[in-house]
Amino acid sequence: MKIRLTRSFWVALTAIIAVFTLYVMIRTVAHIARTHSRMSEMRIERDRLQHGIEADSLFIENLSSEEFLETYAREQFNLQRPGETVYIIE
pLDDT in tens, 23-39: 999 999 999 999 999 99
Helix (H) or strand (E) holding 11: helix 2-63
Q: Answer yes or no: is 50 within a domain.
A: yes
Structural domain for 18, as ranges: 2-77
Q: What is the pLDDT of residues 26-77, one digit of tens each?
A: 999 999 999 999 999 999 999 999 999 999 999 999 989 999 988 888 888 8
Q: Answer yes or no: is 6 within a domain.
A: yes
Residue 2 pLDDT exceeds 70: no
| Cut 0.85: pTM above it | no
Q: Answer yes or no: is 84 within a domain.
A: no
Q: Answer yes or no: is 82 within a domain.
A: no
Total domains present in the chain: 1
For residues 63 and 65, what is the distance between their CA atoms, to the nearest angstrom? 5
Rg (CA), the chain: 34
Q: Answer yes or no: is 56 within a domain.
A: yes
CA-to-CA separations, 43 to 33, 34, 40, 48, 52, in angstroms, rounded: 15, 14, 5, 9, 14
For residues 61 and 68, what is the distance between their CA atoms, to the nearest angstrom? 10
